[in-house]
Amino acid sequence: MSLTVCKFGGSSLADGNNIARVAEIVKSDPARKYVVVSAPGKRFSEDRKVTDLLYDCYKESLEKGNCSEAFSKIRKRFHSIVEELNLESFDIDAILDETEKEIETRKSIDFTASRGEYLNARVISAFMGWQFVDAKDIIFFDANGSFDEKRSYPLIFETLTKYETAIIPGFYGTDAKGEVKTFSRGGSDISGAIVARGVNAELYENWTDVSGFLACDPRIVEKPKKIENISFKELRELSYMGANVLHADSIFPVRKGDIPIKIKNTFRPQDAGTLILPSKKYKKGEGIVTGIAGKKDFTVIFLEKSMMNAEVGFARKVLSVLENKEIRFEHMPSGIDTLSLVIESHFLENGILEELLVEIKEAVHPDYIHVLENIALVATVGHGMASSVGTSARLFSALSDAGINVRMIDQGSSELNIIVGINNEDYERCIRAIYHAFFQ
């Protein structure tokens, strides 16, 4: 019998009516046995997510010793959810009272933030009549704060397979000291992936409010093509570069277990969505390019030194300077006598850039050092690129026709992507030009 783990995001669970719709979706396929849920999200654009309201509770309880004012908004949200679901016999007040008290006494930001998922999972489990399994008992972090797979996976398997069906709150687990710890924002996607791996699911369905991935940002190109199939590697490139339907870290657990992810829209369940496949199962489609994504605000430090290629340890010395200052770099394109470092500009604010340049000069004595600021990176991604002659010619002639000055080029060694650095102000035009070159 096939097994699917589903995760539903905050917008899919923002009120009682949406929760009822989710229950229907879940029950329409018997393979959907374990469901990871987010906290209620926004019901309308000016609304606030329950997780954000909880951060207010934490602040208030630190300032005043109690959080009754901020918590009253959480109460109201859950009262109306319970009412909309006609759950009269469910004593939500007892759970809310206990939660409020715990927030005030524990004074832990992670514990407080995690309560949106906890409360929502309790309500949904009561509504569906499915077992509630607390994430704190099955998901663990190690002493460095990283997800502890050795401890978690056997417990997830052992605990969940005791039940026919279960509801699990997303976003948190337990740290090495036994305290509740959250993932970064949007982390229920990661919890869902971990649960899918833990129970060896055949499929991880991630239900959200869009019908999958689009070939590029719809705010830049009107109605871009939908991506039906994408490999984990392509997705990693695109989501890293800002295509954020799914938390970037949620890919790793399922990828290791060769479990495909399906992105589905709770509000349009009939749409096919996007299927994300491990390389083994992925079959390249007809298109050369799968998607285009990018990010603004990078700084490029360009170094030149003649005979750089003959100088052993040049790159190591440059990178040690970055490491000592705890600055990470994104790309490092290099030539025979040149090396460039591409760094997110916010790491270099408040005089750090100037300090960095002095230290690099001392470490490697370049002939020339030059800084380009306000650079945007645009990645064109697709397995099809490696086997198609003329892909880069097509890409660069599109950019040249659009009058876009390319400041930097980096082609990943996997031939999966070509990244161009351009001025921030050319960002939208660049994406449009590439899209039109490959998709129209």
Nearest-approach distance from CB 48 to ligand ASP, in angstroms? 10
**Of these, 5, 22, 25, 39, which contacts ligand ASP (CB under 6 A)?**
39
Say whether residue 296 binds ligand ASP (CB under 6 A). no
173/187 with CB nearer ligand ASP: 187
Q: Please give the residues from 326 up to 355 whose contact with ligand ASP meets the rule CB under 6 A.
A: none
Region near ligand ASP per CB under 6 A, out of 16-24, 185-193, 318-326, 401-409: 185-193
CA distance 437 to 440: 6
Which residue, 52 or 271, is less far from ligand ASP as judged by CB? 52
Which of 185, 281, 346, 361 touches ligand ASP by CB under 6 A? 185
| CB-nearer residue toward ligand ASP: 9 or 366 | 9
Interface characters, 163-182, with ligand ASP (x: CB under 6 A): -------xx-----------
Contacting ligand ASP within 201-260 (CB under 6 A): none
- Of 19 and 381, the one with the shorter C-beta distance to ligand ASP is 19
Nearest-approach distance from CB 247 to ligand ASP, in angstroms: 7
Number of alpha carbons in the 13 Å side-chain half-sphere of residue 392: 12
Closest distance to ligand ASP from the beta carbon of 14 (Å): 11
58 contributes a contact to ligand ASP by CB under 6 A: no
Closer CB to ligand ASP, 10 or 198, in the complex: 10
**Rounded to an integer, what distance in angstroms lies between the CA atom of residue 315 and that of residue 89?**
67
Count CA atoms within 13 Å of residue 229 on its CB side. 13
Closer residue to ligand ASP, CB minimum distance, 193 or 418: 193
Q: Which residue is nearest to ligand ASP (CB)?
A: 188
Q: Kindly indicate which of the ranges 184-192, 266-274, 368-376, 427-435 contains the residues binding ligand ASP, using the contact rule CB under 6 A.
A: 184-192
* Closer of 51 and 380 to ligand ASP (Cβ): 51
The tokens of 268 are what?
Answer: 């349009």
- The answer to whether 188 contacts ligand ASP (rule: CB under 6 A) is yes
Are the CB atoms for 81 and 12 separated by under 8 Å? no
Residue 51 binds ligand ASP, judged by CB under 6 A:
yes
Write down the least CB distance from residue 170 to ligand ASP, Å.
6
Q: Would you count residue 187 as binding ligand ASP (CB under 6 A)?
A: yes
Of 299, 274, 242, 263, the C-alpha closest to 431 is 242
Q: Which is nearer to ligand ASP, 152 or 391 (CB)?
A: 152
Which residue's CB is nearer to ligand ASP, number 14 or number 353?
Answer: 14
Cβ of residue 184: shortest distance to ligand ASP, in angstroms? Answer: 8
Nearer to ligand ASP, 188 or 380 (CB): 188
Which residues are at the interface with ligand ASP (CB under 6 A)? 9-10, 38-39, 49, 51, 116, 170-171, 185-189
